């Protein structure tokens, strides 16, 4: 037994000398193990049968399981049988007790984790979980969830929660998601770091989970709806989508009161009233990605904005020879839809992966179109309106047809627009599609339409104050902003969906050219041809002072589209 004087001496020993001593000691111990020297216990392990010699003192120090085993009656035997662990896995974990290292592979990580839990090797459990999460794509999500359920490993459960928060948009579409218990899903949805592009994504995920077993989950639904940032929806969405849900009437009423009566907010008891946070740690740091071309809109370049340096840099060059096509960001891909090649409209759809910079062909649209609009709503791609004629100023044939794409059903027509239009702009907001402006038979439009996917109908909204075509459009802080016009009109308008009204804000000195805009870092950005600078400029709207502040020049000519993407996607 160590005396207090020897303990004090050990504490006062120089740390570098102490570390050196420990390294030599462990090296000597491992050599004894490697040479099977001075071992005092042997394990007889099955499948296949093998004998594994070891040192009791080392194993007891490494694991409470071995400590208790050797203190018991069974531990006094020179040979101890282990029947519930494969010999290869057992030997690897015995080696871990000496070295702190083990060869973990995709094929053995499940068995390694189960055995490490059985032997109470906490460090080995942590190593297995870390390896599994780093190789989750190779292991498959289904098998990983099976392993979590079998082992009930708290470390794995915690890591899965982190993974699900970070990859929620993908996870929520998986079959495994439908079997999440309510406590697990509640913990995920409560997270301020939930990685979603908009709050509607979380709502749609809850609906999918709920519809999988309505009878069993009806009482649990309000618990999950309460985890949403309900104040980020507008009153129409709350009345249409939240209030009809069983047990959610009061939640909808509170949220509507919070939105419409700011003076009463201190009296309204709500769990979450602020939008979810943004953090670089969970891959939510965003930047701008722009598809642009030099002159003819074909063979575009992809540019990314470096926020740290305040400048643009080329990310990739793309070979795509369709004039007047439209693009949309879908997960890690940019979809190029339609366009006009050799004077004729096309129904082609191709997907360009941002990470791998490779192409993939997708099913073609039912109808060829160019100068149309494309948006994504609830995971479905919509192609709206456009031109069906050739590139000929005398043949200006606008379209009203709308078709929708899903991976399961391909392209299918839905209700047509009320007004034929091309060179319009469209966005999604609160579970609906809004399309505004454009041209019809050469005549500029100021009309606006709204599509409700639940009823498959287009309804007219309040007209814009002026006509806009090839204009920029973005959703920003619950409103729709329309920026400028191809003709050089720099008017900027803001639409309030709750009031169905348009109002003008500070205009831009826009020259003749295509305009793009986006909402990034809680600010409205616009990319446009500047009259004063005779070049493409980037400006940010200052809401407090109602003025536009110039950020930087832009090295492109035709801006085809602008997207907000995670910085991690471009690495």
- The CB-side HSE value for 375 (13 A sphere, CA atoms) comes to 24
Model confidence at 97: pLDDT above 50 = yes
CA 223/CA 185 separation, integer angstroms: 10
Tell which wins on pLDDT, 559 or 12: 559
State the CB neighbour count (10 A cutoff) for residue 179.
13
- How confident is the model at residue 281, as a pLDDT? 37
Q: What is the mean pLDDT of the chain?
A: 87
pLDDT band at residue 5, thresholds of 50, 70 and 90? very low
Token pair, residue 254, equals 């509170």
Helix (H) or strand (E) holding 430: none
- pLDDT tens for residues 184-229? 999 999 998 898 878 899 999 999 999 999 999 999 999 999 999 9
State the CB neighbour count (10 A cutoff) for residue 487.
15
Enumerate domains of the chain plus CATH numbers.
Answer: 14-165 (3.30.710.10), 168-267 (1.25.40.420)
Tell which wins on pLDDT, 15 or 465: 465
Token pair, residue 413, equals 């027509």
- pLDDT tens for residues 418-432? 999 999 999 999 889
pLDDT band at residue 284, thresholds of 50, 70 and 90? low
Tell which wins on pLDDT, 280 or 382: 382
pTM of the model: 0.54
* Mean pLDDT within 271-296: 72
* Mean pLDDT within 516-532: 84
Helix (H) or strand (E) holding 498: none
Model confidence at 400: pLDDT above 50 = yes
- How confident is the model at residue 486, as a pLDDT? 77
- How confident is the model at residue 229, as a pLDDT? 93
- How confident is the model at residue 2, as a pLDDT? 47
- How confident is the model at residue 4, as a pLDDT? 45
Q: How far is residue 493 from each of residues 436, 463, 465, 472, 476, measured CA to CA in Å?
A: 11, 11, 8, 11, 12
Helices and strands of the chain, counted as H and E runs: 17, 29
* Mean pLDDT within 57-69: 92
- How confident is the model at residue 553, as a pLDDT? 79
Model confidence at 126: pLDDT above 70 = yes
- How confident is the model at residue 270, as a pLDDT? 86
* Mean pLDDT within 270-274: 85
Tell which wins on pLDDT, 434 or 470: 434
Model confidence at 19: pLDDT above 80 = no
State the CB neighbour count (10 A cutoff) for residue 7.
10
- How confident is the model at residue 14, as a pLDDT? 58
Model confidence at 278: pLDDT above 50 = no
Token pair, residue 542, equals 């200052």
pLDDT band at residue 518, thresholds of 50, 70 and 90? very high
Tell which wins on pLDDT, 413 or 280: 413
- How confident is the model at residue 392, as a pLDDT? 57
SS (H, E, C) 208-271: HHHHHCHHHHCCCHHHHHCCCCHHHCCHHHHHHHHCCCCCCHHHHHHHHHHHHCHHHHHHCCCC
Yes or no: say if 85 and 115 are a contact pair by the CB < 8 Å rule.
Answer: yes
Q: Which of 349, 351, 354, 352 is nearest to 370 (CA)?
A: 349
Q: Is 166 left (phi over 0), alpha (psi -120 to 50) or beta?
A: alpha
CA 385/CA 371 separation, integer angstroms: 8
CA 520/CA 536 separation, integer angstroms: 19
Q: Tell me which DSSP letter residue 85 carries.
A: S
* Mean pLDDT within 349-359: 90
Model confidence at 56: pLDDT above 70 = yes
Three-point CA angle 166, 172, 176, nearest 5°:
110
Q: Tell me which DSSP letter residue 300 carries.
A: -
Yes or no: say if 531 and 511 are a contact pair by the CB < 8 Å rule.
Answer: yes
Model confidence at 7: pLDDT above 90 = no
Q: What percent of the chain has pLDDT over 90?
A: 52
* Mean pLDDT within 109-121: 94
- How confident is the model at residue 8, as a pLDDT? 46
Tell which wins on pLDDT, 133 or 34: 133
- How confident is the model at residue 532, as a pLDDT? 62
Model confidence at 404: pLDDT above 50 = yes
Lowest mean pLDDT among 60-74, 244-258, 259-273, 326-340: 259-273
């Amino acid at each position: 037994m160590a005396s207090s004087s020897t303990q004090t001496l050990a504490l006062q020993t120089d740390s570098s000398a102490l570390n050196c001593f420990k390294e030599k000691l462990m090296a000597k111990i491992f050599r004894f193990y490697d040479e099977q020297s001075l071992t005092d216990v042997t394990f007889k392990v099955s499948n296949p049968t093998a004998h594994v010699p070891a040192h009791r003192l080392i194993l007891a120090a490494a694991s409470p399981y071995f400590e208790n085993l050797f203190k018991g009656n069974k531990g006094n035997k020179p040979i101890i049988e282990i029947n519930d662990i494969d010999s290869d896995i057992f030997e690897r974990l015995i080696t871990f007790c000496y070295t702190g290292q083990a060869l973990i592979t995709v094929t053995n990580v499940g068995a390694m984790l189960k055995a490490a839990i059985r032997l109470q090797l906490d460090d080995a459990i942590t190593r297995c979980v870390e390896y599994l999460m780093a190789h989750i794509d190779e292991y498959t999500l289904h098998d990983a969830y099976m392993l979590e359920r079998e082992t009930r490993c708290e470390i794995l459960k915690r890591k899965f929660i982190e993974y699900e928060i970070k990859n929620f948009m993908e996870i929520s579409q998986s079959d495994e998601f439908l079997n999440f218990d309510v406590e697990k899903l509640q913990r995920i949805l409560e997270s301020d770091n939930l990685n979603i592009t908009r709050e509607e994504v979380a709502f749609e995920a809850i609906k999918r989970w709920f519809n999988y077993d309505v009878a069993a989950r009806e009482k649990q639904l309000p618990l999950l709806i309460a985890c949403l940032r309900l104040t980020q929806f507008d009153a129409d969405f709350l009345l249409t989508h939240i209030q009809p849900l069983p047990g959610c009437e009061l939640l909808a009423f509170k949220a509507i009161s919070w939105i419409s009566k700011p003076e009463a907010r201190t009296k309204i008891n709500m769990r979450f009233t602020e939008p979810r946070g943004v953090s670089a740690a969970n891959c939510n740091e965003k930047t701008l990605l722009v598809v642009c071309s030099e002159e003819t809109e074909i063979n575009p370049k992809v540019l990314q904005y470096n926020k740290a340096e305040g400048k643009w840099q080329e990310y990739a060059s793309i070979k795509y020879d369709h004039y007047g096509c439209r693009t949309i960001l879908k997960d890690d891909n940019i979809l190029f839809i339609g366009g006009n090649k050799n004077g004729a409209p096309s129904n082609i759809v191709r997907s360009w992966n941002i990470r791998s910079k490779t192409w993939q062909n997708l099913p073609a649209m039912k109808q060829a179109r160019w100068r149309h609009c494309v948006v994504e709503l609830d995971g479905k791609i919509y192609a709206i309106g456009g031109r069906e004629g050739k590139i000929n100023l005398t043949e200006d044939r606008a379209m009203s047809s709308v078709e929708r794409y899903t991976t399961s059903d391909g392209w299918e027509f839905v209700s047509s627009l009320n007004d034929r239009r091309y060179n319009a702009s469209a966005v999604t907001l609160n579970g609906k599609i809004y399309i505004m402006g454009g041209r019809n038979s050469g005549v500029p439009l100021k009309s606006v339409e709204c599509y409700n996917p639940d009823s498959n109908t287009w309804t007219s909204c309040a007209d814009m104050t002026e006509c806009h075509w090839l204009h920029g459009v973005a959703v920003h802080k619950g409103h729709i902003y329309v920026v400028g016009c191809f003709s050089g009109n720099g008017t900027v308008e803001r639409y309030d969906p709750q009031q169905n009204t348009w109002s003008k804000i500070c205009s831009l000195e826009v020259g003749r050219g295509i305009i793009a805009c986006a909402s990034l870092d809680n600010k409205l950005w616009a990319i446009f041809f500047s009259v004063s600078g005779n070049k493409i400029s980037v400006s940010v709207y200052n809401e407090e002072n109602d003025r536009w502040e110039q950020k930087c020049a832009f090295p492109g000519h035709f801006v085809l589209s602008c997207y907000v993407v995670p910085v991690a996607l471009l690495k």
